[in-house]
């Protein structure tokens, strides 16, 4: 992407799909010391942790790309509540989604709108390290704005990748 952005003088855009659920994670945000530990595991908090990681990744990537002076942006977004099988392991919630989803949730096209907006719309040109919802800027949690947490997640991930190479 960097090479293409430089050669074409066109802005590249990286879009991380997250969720407003990033605001509802474990108290420490990312459980680095318990990343695979099932002790104290909570499926909804773990989901929130994964969505927080998506926002933090986009923010740290945005910072690094900007530091390199590459014309590539990285942003994250909440696509909205879309009737999917996300809650298939929570029978009560799954039943509610099935029954009420078509009346209270977005359809697939509506759910894709913010992703398409962030990826393609001219109003997003140059926007970097931002979070969107409903095709507008949206608020993130304090943890999602934590630069140290974003860097720690980046470094943690790089260590895991390096371990997999050996």
Q: Where are the beta strands (DSSP E) in 63-159?
A: 72-78, 131-133, 136-137
Kindly name the residue from 41, 47, 131, 132 that is annotated as catalytic: 41
The CATH class, in words, for 2-158 is alpha beta
DSSP H or E segment with residue 16: strand 12-17
Report domain extents, the chain.
2-158
Which long-range contacts link 5-10 to residues 24+ away (Cβ below 8 Å)? 5/70, 5/71, 5/72, 6/70, 6/71, 9/71, 10/71
The pLDDT tens digits of the residues spanning 21-74 come to 999 999 999 999 999 888 889 999 999 999 999 999 999 999 999 999 999 999
3-class SS of residue 118: helix
The pLDDT tens digits of the residues spanning 128-164 come to 999 999 999 999 999 999 999 999 999 999 999 999 9
Q: Is 131 a catalytic residue?
A: no
């Amino acid at each position: 992407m960097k090479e293409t952005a430089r050669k074409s003088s066109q802005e590249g855009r990286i879009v991380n799909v997250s969720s407003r659920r990033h605001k509802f994670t474990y108290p420490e945000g990312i459980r680095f010391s318990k990343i695979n530990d099932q002790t104290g595991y909570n499926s909804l908090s773990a989901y929130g942790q994964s969505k927080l990681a998506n926002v933090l990744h986009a923010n740290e990537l945005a910072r690094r790309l900007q530091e390199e002076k590459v014309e590539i942006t990285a942003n994250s977004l909440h696509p909205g509540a879309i009737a999917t099988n996300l809650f298939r392991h929570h029978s009560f919630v799954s039943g509610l989604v099935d029954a009420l989803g078509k009346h209270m949730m977005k359809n697939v096209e509506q759910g894709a709108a913010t992703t398409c907006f962030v990826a393609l719309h001219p109003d997003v040109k140059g926007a970097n390290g931002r979070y969107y919802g409903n095709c507008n800027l949206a608020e993130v949690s304090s943890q999602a704005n934590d630069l140290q947490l974003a860097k720690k997640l980046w470094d943690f991930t790089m260590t895991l990748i390096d371990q997999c190479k050996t």
